[in-house]
Amino acid sequence: MLPDVNKIRTIKEIPNIDLFVSGHRLCAGCGIPILIKNVLRAIPDPKALVNATGCLEVASTIYPYTSWKVPWVHVAFENAAAVASGIEAAFRALERKKGGQKYNVIALGGDGGTFDIGIQALSGALERGHDLIYICYDNEAYMNTGIQRSGGTPLGAATTTSPAGSVIPGKPEYKKSLMDIVVAHGVPYAATLNPAYPVDMYNKLLKANEFEGPKFFHYYSPCPVGWWASESMSIEIARLAVQTLVWPLYEVEYGKYRITVNIRNPKPIEEYLKTQGRFRHLFKPENRWIIDELQRRVRENWERLEKLTKL
């Protein structure tokens, strides 16, 4: 029996069940294993996972080995949500014809496979109302294929396809507002997650079990390699992302917004940016305007979220 959402108050109350085991090749300091371990603990059996091509897929199934102790299928970058939709429909048909327990279907994709390549399939699954969970682990670039910029890469970040130099000061475009796109589909439940706040994350994953229809999670996933950061700093960077309002923690339940970690005295965004080499060029005098713009945008977004919670 699942613990009640309201009773989870400390990390010690999270069950010590491990269905994603050691031996994977995910990098030291990667945020993905924290997510997957908690997803597999919070979402009840029976469950099946659909995994788009990306860091998680290539690092967890090095032939002939696997770190997964649950049913799992690898699909292409672009069709994780479509395949998950088909599996969910098949399980629903079997349940209707033969009875039995409901299967929980979970789709996983990185920012490249969600913001960009797979957004059409994701939109279709949300619009059709499939009873599944989609999780985007967002490390803000195509890390698996060479650290190229994605729709999830923030303004000013240096990547191999948006290199900081005399032509451009890092990525010239803003990060796509994925949560707004998802919420616009009218989904029952959507929420942001962060590895530095495991109790908040676990409670939201538990809460997803209460809804029928598409559920969506947007997870902040530190990437020491792609961010040019120390692997020992991953959780501190993730915490700073919340404390500087770069990554607000909130949930949307049938269109109703709620901030789940309230930041009363936000830290300046420089404290977050200086932890990562991908932003170091922003501290040059000629690029100071980008820091100011990022600061303006995060505060504006936070004020917008605060207003939405009052509607």
Query: Measured between alpha carbons, how far is 245 from 79 in angstroms, rounded to an integer?
Result: 32
For residue 64, is the peptide bond before it cis, meaning its omega torsion is within 30 degrees of 0?
A: yes
Please list, in sequence order, all residues whose beta carbon lies within 8 angstroms of the beta carbon of residue 244, skipping any fewer than 6 positions away.
Answer: 266, 267, 268, 269, 271, 272, 298
Query: Measured between alpha carbons, how far is 57 from 278 in angstroms, rounded to an integer?
Result: 25
For residue range 76-91, list pLDDT tens digits in order: 999 999 999 999 999 9
For residue range 108-154, list pLDDT tens digits in order: 999 999 999 999 999 999 999 999 999 999 999 999 999 999 999 99
For residue range 8-39, list pLDDT tens digits in order: 889 999 999 999 999 999 999 999 999 999 99
- Determine phi and psi for 198, rounding to 5 degrees: -65, -30
pLDDT score for 6: 54
Q: What integer is the mean pLDDT of 282-287?
A: 98
pLDDT at 3 over 70: no
pLDDT at 212 over 70: yes
The pTM of the full predicted model, rounded to 2 decimals, is 0.96
Q: What integer is the mean pLDDT of 49-70?
A: 96
For residue range 169-206, list pLDDT tens digits in order: 999 999 999 999 999 999 999 999 999 999 999 999 99
pLDDT score for 7: 66
**58 in Cβ contact with 35 (< 8 Å):** no
Which is nearest to 156 in space by CA: 302, 300, 281?
Answer: 281
Query: Measured between alpha carbons, how far is 96 from 73 in angstroms, rounded to an integer?
Result: 24
Q: What integer is the mean pLDDT of 248-266?
A: 98
**241 in Cβ contact with 249 (< 8 Å):** no
Range of the domain at 155: 5-309
What total number of domains does the chain contain? Answer: 1
State the CATH number of the domain containing residue 174. 3.40.50.970
**Mean pLDDT, the chain, integer:** 96
- pLDDT band at residue 99 under the 50/70/90 scheme: confident
